[in-house]
Amino acid sequence: MSLQKGRPWRRFYESNKNNYVKQEPSLLITRLTYIMDYPMKLKWNIYEIQSDANTLHGVMLRGRIRKFTIENGITCLAENASDKENTVRFALLEGIEPTKTIEFIQNLIPGSLVTRVLESVENPILSKLKVNDISRYL
């Protein structure tokens, strides 16, 4: 989709509104952000799942978390951690209550420990936490 500078947002929306009705809410928000030329920065809270008793990699855990969050209208990222053994990380948009997701994970993997490791991160990398330090890029 190409956007022309200076084209009024309202006219663009009216001519394309049927395309937006059928899209996922997070995709719609992303597209509307670009259309309005508003520099919206999404901030994420990052959580870490660990378990001594159960294997977390290779058991489709990320996919199950993703399916659960899609079914419940929660915007989520999930990734295996490469800097820690047997650890999976997920991120929720700042302001989203994590209780429902954490309860789902603890029911799915009894004895798992879910902890918040970082707050208010822009453009998070979940596989390695050290790259989320913004001072590395300034």
Q: What is the pLDDT of residues 57-113, one digit of tens each?
A: 989 999 999 999 999 999 999 999 999 999 999 999 999 999 999 999 999 999 999
Q: Is the pTM of this model over 0.75?
A: no
Q: Identify which has the larger pLDDT, 58 or 47.
A: 47
Res 41: pLDDT: 83
- Where do the domains of the chain lie? 1-40, 43-136
| CATH number for the domain whose boundaries are 43-136 | 3.30.70.120
Residue reference for tokens 């490469």: 82
Name which of 68, 67, 47 is nearest 112 in CA terms.
Answer: 47
Strand ranges (DSSP E) for the chain? 43-50, 76-80, 87-93, 113-122
| Confidence class for position 7, pLDDT limits 50, 70, 90 | very low
Res 134: pLDDT: 79
Per-residue pLDDT for 130 more than 90? no
| CB-count exposure of residue 21 (10 Å: 0-12, 13-18, 19+) | exposed
Collapsing DSSP states into helix, strand and coil, what is residue 5? coil
